[in-house]
Structure 1
Amino acid sequence: MITVTGELPPPPPLRQFILKLHGRCNLACDYCYVYAKSDQRWRHRPPLMAPATVRAAADRIAEHVRAHRLPDVSVVLHGGEPLLAGPRRVEQAVRTVRDTVGARVDFSVQTNGTLLNDRFLRLFDELDVLVGVSLDGDQATHDLHRRTPHGGSHDRVLRGLAALTAPRHRHLFGGLLCVVDVTRDPLTVWDALRAFDPPAVDLLLPHATWTTPPAAPPGAHAAWLTAVFDRWFAEPPAVRVRLFEEIVNVLLGGSSALGSVGTTPPGMVVIETDGAIEQCGSLATAYEGAADLGLDVVHHDFDTVLRHPAVVARRRGEAGVPTPCRPCRWATTCGGGHPTHRYRHPSGFDHRSVYCTDLDLLYTHIHKTLQTALAAPTKAPTPR
């Protein structure tokens, strides 16, 4: 447990709300932090968020917007698989929040893609909802982990992506999310993702802790990611890769919008199907209830969330860098990596990341690449 000491500045307001519209899934991904890890509380929550819970969440978001005079916020429909809620309930949720919140609400949905069809896409077009799809690369790689009870899901995801990336709906395409598998060739995976010309790609390390460490040896994930980084860095105009972009941002002295990079306080919160307000859902990898705050949208406002000791501990900026990380040259740029990956039973989260070696190698590689690029002479324009 990280101890909070000293006076802290007032916390910045929350800007992103993860609305778990449906708490079940039609896939059984073996790395899923919801169903395949330590926290099994999903079994006791309602599968579908009730309309009254959606209204209570909308009221709390509106209250937060008014209190902090926010011009806009974002809401992500999540799960489970949010499209299991069906078009009618998705539409009700979006319209309820938009009609209640007195500011612009940017909506997106994160889906496994297997249920995407023209009916959903016409609705998302009408409601102005961006669509992110989870895809782990080529068919062999994707189907290793993202499976239905009857086999791989790649073919169904491709059908959904074909509909999403068709000219009629392509403006709704928010990007792809890929979980890294170091046993697969990185450039084969990257080429499979790039084939869809996504506006953005999220590359995620598999969630692990010191108690349940990754199967791959230290350095394997860095080698995989640096291979993709080199290809990405060399191919203008490159698709946005948030992990690489945010590392570049912090190495150049800027801030990061990712909780796994840098020391910028996170600005998001999760609302479960029963209305419980929780921290980042991937904390479920650590132990059951790791994300639990004991708060809900019926009885608590979001300023109460900001004052919760567990939230304060993770919004301390540079002061929240884990103790073992502070002598490191990347302490304030890496920030200790993803909070989940710092956990060790029974001592808590004040540890370096279980991916520390990988992060050190990755940051070093990107730093050297930037130094070389910035030192290279700029070519004079060719006279016309």
Structure 2
Amino acid sequence: MEVTEASPANSADPICRSLLVKLAARCNIACRYCYWFRDEEVYAAPAVMTPEVEAALLDKLEGHIRRHGLSSFSVLFHGGEPLLFGKQRFRGLCAALRELEGALGCRVSLSVTTNGLPLDAEWLELLRRFRVSVGISLDGPAAIHDVNRIDFKGVGTHAAVVRAIKLLQSGGWEPGLLAVCNPSVDPEQTVRHFVEELGIKAFDVLVPDATHEDRPATIAPYYTRLFDLWYGRYAGQDVQIRYLESILRGLLGGRSGSQSIGYGAITAVTLLTDGSLEALDVLRIAGSGSTRSHINLLTHEIQDIQSDPLWREIYEASIQLAPACRACEWKTVCGGGHMASRWSASRRYDNPSVYCDDIKAILKHIWGRIAPDLYIERIEGTHD
């Protein structure tokens, strides 16, 4: 689940319409690929959001919505593992946000991304009561998931995550699943596990986080195979794979609606447990201190994040692509790739994605598959 959709590229002075709220800065498992703990500064923050920051969030959010006349606002609870915030405090925060929604006439969308391990019947009742949508992280069947998503004893967490998914399903929930691509395996194993074994029809398969300082494995064979499986078999079963659908929207001239791929302004705002407001949280992949901000909700307004140098740099980089990207035939479909994948120590974010060649191969393959199936339908009553 992503922080927010990319905004239209021509947005001037964009108003913040969503927050990624870090309820917890710690986790209950130890995923090998986690970007969050690549920045050692996360350990200096409070383990869970302080009561002072929680109060400031409610106060500043109310003022922000009133000041800008917003009709909707999105809050994504995140971590670490956000459910470590605890049931009592979660109940209080959600109740206050729902009261705010009623008082302001502004629709507040609440969602949470969790590894699922803390979920129980009481958590489900809280999520249902406060209308919180749920995204669960699961990389595929045990043989794939348990390679990277392990607990602090090195034991795989697949069985516990599946238990959480089935608990949600038994309560009438349809959780969205978030998988991270493992380029060394056949994606059919993951798709079959999700659709045929777990009965999940909406999920995403995320590109592994990497910068130009890393040496990521090629992802083109994985995603071209994934597309062929989906387009040839699963799309007809109403299965939705967000990354692929985002690409299709871009190829057909629309907005991808995603930060992972597609051209559009990145306006994401992250609230940390100590009140710090930062840019896109995954940018921590660049290392310790890479997202540090002097903007804090205890002393600033939400909209003040736009004066943060990194937030401004990311916003400008998302609409002013690197020279190589501006000359590329796929520029509006790709948009330079995910912002974190553009980082290098020498040029910062003024680069194409580290996966540039892979993305080109993926887009070329998908266009080659769908182009023969496209046609123009004349609508009666329109001019020739």
Query: What TM-score do the two structures reach when normalised by structure 2?
Result: 0.89
1:207–1:26 Cα change, 3 Å: same
- In structure 2, give the amino acid aligned to 1:208: A
Matched-pair contact (CA < 8 Å) for 1:313–1:320: no
Q: What is the alpha-carbon distance in structure 1 between the residues aligned to residue 54 and residue 201 of structure 2? A: 30
Equivalent positions of 1:136-151 (< 5 A) are 136-150=139-153, 151=155
Q: What is the alpha-carbon distance in structure 2 between the residues aligned to residue 308 and residue 43 of structure 1? A: 22
Matched-pair contact (CA < 8 Å) for 1:343–1:349: yes
Offset of residue 169 of structure 1: 2.9
Question: Would you say 1:70 and 2:70 are equivalent positions?
Answer: yes
Q: Determine the structure 2 residue equivalent to 1:94.
A: 94
Q: Which runs of 5+ in 2 are unaligned?
A: 1-9, 378-384
Matched-pair contact (CA < 8 Å) for 1:73–1:105: yes
Q: CA RMSD in A?
A: 2.0
Question: Would you say 1:180 and 2:181 are equivalent positions?
Answer: yes
- In structure 1, give the amino acid aligned to 2:109: D
Offset of residue 59 of structure 1: 2.1
Q: Determine the structure 1 residue equivalent to 2:208.
A: 206
Question: Would you say 1:106 and 2:104 are equivalent positions?
Answer: no
Equivalent positions of 1:269-308 (< 5 A) are 269-308=269-308
Larger mean Cα displacement after TM superposition, 44-53 or 262-271: 262-271
- Aligned partner of 2:223 among 214, 222, 225: 225
- In structure 1, give the amino acid aligned to 2:226: V
- Aligned partner of 2:160 among 156, 161, 167: 156
Q: Determine the structure 2 residue equivalent to 1:360.
A: 360
Q: What is the alpha-carbon distance in structure 2 between the residues aligned to residue 369 and residue 312 of structure 1? A: 38
For residues 39-86 of structure 1, what are the alpha-carbon distances to aligned partners after superposition, in whole Å with 9 as ceiling and x for unaligned? 111110110112221121122222222222111111111101111122
Q: Which runs of 5+ in 1 are unaligned?
A: 1-7, 378-384
Matched-pair contact (CA < 8 Å) for 1:59–1:100: no
1:15–1:273 Cα change, 3 Å: same
- In structure 2, give the amino acid aligned to 1:120: W
- In structure 2, give the amino acid aligned to 1:374: L
Offset of residue 185 of structure 1: 1.7
Size of the aligned set, in residue pairs, is 362
Larger mean Cα displacement after TM superposition, 145-154 or 283-292: 283-292
Q: What is the alpha-carbon distance in structure 2 between the residues aligned to residue 9 and residue 107 of structure 1? A: 25
Question: Would you say 1:27 and 2:29 are equivalent positions?
Answer: yes
- Aligned partner of 1:126 among 121, 124, 129: 129
Q: Secondary structure at the match of 2:205?
A: strand
Offset of residue 211 of structure 1: 0.9
1:251–1:317 Cα change, 3 Å: farther
Offset of residue 280 of structure 1: 1.2
Offset of residue 227 of structure 1: 1.1
Query: What TM-score do the two structures reach when normalised by structure 1?
Result: 0.89
Equivalent positions of 1:8-23 (< 5 A) are 10-23=12-25
Q: What is the alpha-carbon distance in structure 2 between the residues aligned to residue 241 and residue 311 of structure 1? A: 29
Matched-pair contact (CA < 8 Å) for 1:264–1:317: no
Matched-pair contact (CA < 8 Å) for 1:270–1:279: yes
Q: Determine the structure 1 residue equivalent to 2:333.
A: 333
1:318–1:209 Cα change, 3 Å: closer
For residues 275-312 of structure 1, what are the alpha-carbon distances to aligned partners after superposition, in whole Å with 9 as ceiling and x for unaligned? 11111111111122222232111111122213434323
Q: What is the alpha-carbon distance in structure 2 between the residues aligned to residue 180 and residue 127 of structure 1? A: 32
Larger mean Cα displacement after TM superposition, 95-104 or 42-51: 95-104
Question: Would you say 1:238 and 2:238 are equivalent positions?
Answer: yes
Q: Determine the structure 1 residue equivalent to 2:41.
A: 41
- In structure 1, give the amino acid aligned to 2:31: C
- In structure 1, give the amino acid aligned to 2:177: L
Q: What is the alpha-carbon distance in structure 2 between the residues aligned to residue 255 and residue 316 of structure 1? A: 18
Q: Determine the structure 2 residue equivalent to 1:381.
A: none
- In structure 1, give the amino acid aligned to 2:303: D
Q: What is the alpha-carbon distance in structure 2 between the residues aligned to residue 141 and residue 319 of structure 1? A: 36
Question: Would you say 1:311 and 2:311 are equivalent positions?
Answer: yes
Matched-pair contact (CA < 8 Å) for 1:46–1:274: yes
Q: Determine the structure 1 residue equivalent to 2:5.
A: none
Matched-pair contact (CA < 8 Å) for 2:265–2:318: no
Q: What is the alpha-carbon distance in structure 1 between the residues aligned to residue 318 and residue 190 of structure 2? A: 35
Q: Secondary structure at the match of 1:17?
A: strand
Q: What is the alpha-carbon distance in structure 2 between the residues aligned to residue 251 and residue 293 of structure 1? A: 36
Matched-pair contact (CA < 8 Å) for 1:20–1:80: yes
Q: What is the alpha-carbon distance in structure 1 between the residues aligned to residue 238 and residue 351 of structure 2? A: 35
1:251–1:74 Cα change, 3 Å: same
Matched-pair contact (CA < 8 Å) for 1:263–1:321: no
Q: Secondary structure at the match of 1:130?
A: strand
Larger mean Cα displacement after TM superposition, 90-99 or 48-57: 90-99
Q: What is the alpha-carbon distance in structure 1 between the residues aligned to residue 281 and residue 322 of structure 2? A: 20
Matched-pair contact (CA < 8 Å) for 2:201–2:239: yes
Q: Secondary structure at the match of 2:293?
A: strand
